[in-house]
Amino acid sequence: MALRTLSTFPSLPRRFTRPDPTLTVIHRNPSTSIVCKSIANSEPTVSLSERDGFAAAAPTPGERFLENQRAHQAQKVVKKELKREKKKKKEESIREVVDTSLSCCYGCGAPLQTSDVDSPGFVDLVTYDLKKKHHQLRTVICGRCQLLSHGHMITAVGGNGGYAGGKQFVSADELREKLSHLRHEKALIVKLVDIVDFNGSFLARVRDLVGANPIILVITKIDLLPKGTDMNCIGDWVVEVTTKKKLNVLSVHLTSSKSLDGVSGVASEIQKEKKGRDVYILGAANVGKSAFINALLKTMAERDPVAAAAQKYKPIQSAVPGTTLGPIQINAFLGGEKLYDTPGVHLHHRQAAVVHSDDLPALAPQNRLRGQSFDISTQSSNSTEGESLNGYTFFWGGLVRIDILKALPETRFTFYGPKALEIHAVPTKTATEFYQKEVGVLLTPPSGKDQMQEWKGLQSHRLLRIEFNDPKRPASDVAISGLGWISIEPIRRSKDSEPRDLEEAEHEIRVCVSVPKPVEVFIRPTLPIGTSGAEWYQYRDLTDKEEEVRPKWYF
């Protein structure tokens, strides 16, 4: 017998009419009635007792299973939506901290302001109001950038890793904090390293800043290497050192922003690997990020009209460390992804952090490096057989002192660094007196009375013991963070004679290096530069597994 609903009855007693639409009255018998509260806004359902023959059929096990499944799926959707909203709020809060608003100088990334003439980002009020009215604040360059573009040395970074003297508007830690959001972003990182200061500018802990984002390693300023340098040797050397530092990179590129060598390879790699992600140019202060971006835009402009348009408002180039004071957004790709120039990471262990701002230009080499070599023949024209550089001291400007404690008669020391820093050799027994008398005069930097008042001297001393096996090859490099390096040859090369056989005790060189605190000193494998580098450099035999995971290098 088919079930019938209440609507099929011709009429109901008057007492069962519902003045309140949210109440349902069910008739069981003349003496009892049940009133139920409806929980839905839709037409209320009527539940009848089985005894009267009007109850709905009980749900089957299959229906209960489907209902449970639907409830479970709905719960998962709600949890997923809540998780997405939480992540979105977190990203928005991060962006608020590092937001590069439209009101920033396109040359240095400093927020535009009209109140302080001497501070970065200053623009006169008339210009600011006019540009704002026409929505052209992105085309404004601040007064500091205009001075920098004309060769003025205006520092702005202070604190740990900043620069003494000059004006300090922001600390190195504050600039580093502006990069902290990178580990939360999905981005492609292009990390720059200066070949002249490879160890000092490498940023070994770069993963703390960028997280698990992929990295393209770019070596800059290769045009400063001596003539005749074999780039095959340099590329292999860089990959070997990078692998030992356990930094996983997609590829390695040797570049020159000046001659544009290798830049097209970086552009191709970026287009291949960005995959919808924004691209961030990252590196230590003064490694040439802004110059590299300008070279990159120039190279990309040949095929990409967006990059060509971006060249009109490109970051300012300057020899002053800390030129860029905030992330600079550049529209450089047809796909809509952004290219960012970032503030340099200011490191307290480089020479630039301990010298006065007026002496900073002396630390930057402008032309090809030409090594200055010293052996016993250069110090004594009347040197006798068996005499060596033991007991001599070298001063590299007023920034480095090297005491020779043990060396062979044929040992040669070759200095590679800026020409502005002269090298002086004196007997060790008179070295301290010589330094106290000539620092700031003959031994510069530091230079000038103001710099000398703040100069604390060479307080850090490091004893280096350098062992070698093959006298035909250089033993090692001693790299000074932020300055250059010294190549040590146990036996100087000669076309006329072969190196002599050495006794076991002669396979060691000892020196003491003194530098200002907290400048770091590194011992590393010798960089194979010049025409002789290709003659002695040895390529390591790789296993199949090493060959597979080892990053490729390009030039």
Reported as a single tens digit per residue, the pLDDT across 288-300 is 998 999 999 999 9
Q: Write b or e for each residue in 5-37: b if 16 or more Cβ atoms lie within 10 A of its Cβ, otherwise e.
A: eeeeeeeeeeeeeeeeeeebbbbeeeeeeeeee
Q: CA dihedral in degrees (386, 388, 390, 396; nearest 10)?
A: 180
Q: CA dihedral in degrees (422, 428, 430, 431; nearest 10)?
A: 40
CA distances from 33 to 5, 21, 55, 363, 435 (A): 17, 17, 16, 98, 110
Q: How far apart are CA 130 and CA 441, in angstroms?
A: 51
Q: Give a three-class secondary structure readout of 350-366.
A: CHHHCCEHHHHHHHCCC
pTM: 0.78
Strand stretches in 412-459, DSSP E: 412-416, 423-427
* pLDDT at residue 381, as a whole number: 57
CA 186 from centroid of its chain's CA atoms: 15
The list of the chain residues with pLDDT below 50 reads: 1-18, 21-55, 94-101
HSE toward the beta carbon, residue 499, CA cutoff 13 A: 19
The tokens of 190 are what? 């292009």
Q: How is the chain split into domains, by residue range?
A: 100-152, 168-349, 353-379+387-494+503-519
Q: Which CATH class is domain 168-349?
A: alpha beta
Q: How far apart are CA 472 and CA 252, in angstroms?
A: 29
Those residues whose C-beta lies under 8 Å from the C-beta of residue 250, and which sit 6 or more positions away, are 214, 215, 216, 269, 273, 551
Those residues whose C-beta lies under 8 Å from the C-beta of residue 89, and which sit 6 or more positions away, are none
Q: How far apart are CA 126 and CA 140, in angstroms?
A: 12
Q: How far apart are CA 201 and CA 86, in angstroms?
A: 37
Strand partners, 89: none
The tokens of 497 are what? 């004679």
Length of the chain: 555
> 3-state DSSP: the chain helix, strand, coil percent, rounded to 5?
30, 20, 45
* pLDDT at residue 386, as a whole number: 58
Sign of CA dihedral 102, 106, 111, 117: negative
Q: How far apart are CA 202 and CA 524, in angstroms?
A: 13
CA 120 from centroid of its chain's CA atoms: 23
> Is residue 106 packed enough to be buried (19+ CB in 10 Å), middle (13-18) or exposed (0-12)?
buried
HSE toward the beta carbon, residue 294, CA cutoff 13 A: 17
Residue in 555, 554, 549 with CA at minimum distance from that of residue 249: 549
Q: How far apart are CA 459 and CA 316, in angstroms?
A: 36
Give yes or no for a cis peptide into 445 (omega within 30° of 0): yes
CA distances from 514 to 152, 187, 414 (A): 32, 41, 17
Residue pair 111/138 in contact (Cβ under 8 Å)? The answer is no
Single-letter residue type at 157: V
- Give the strands of the sheet with 215-220, arranged side by side: 328-331, 338-341, 278-283, 187-194, 215-220, 251-254, 552-554
* pLDDT at residue 159, as a whole number: 55
Helix (H, G, I), strand (E, B) or coil at 120: coil
How many beta carbons lie within 10 A of that of residue 41, not counting itself? Answer: 8
Residue pair 91/98 in contact (Cβ under 8 Å)? The answer is no
Output phi, psi for 141, to 5 deg: -115, 140
The 10s digit of each residue's pLDDT in 92-141 is: 554 443 343 458 899 998 899 998 888 889 999 999 999 999 988 888 99
Residue pair 415/423 in contact (Cβ under 8 Å)? The answer is yes
Q: CA angle, corner 404, sides to 415 and 241, nearest 5? A: 50
Single-letter residue type at 284: A
Give yes or no for a cis peptide into 518 (omega within 30° of 0): yes
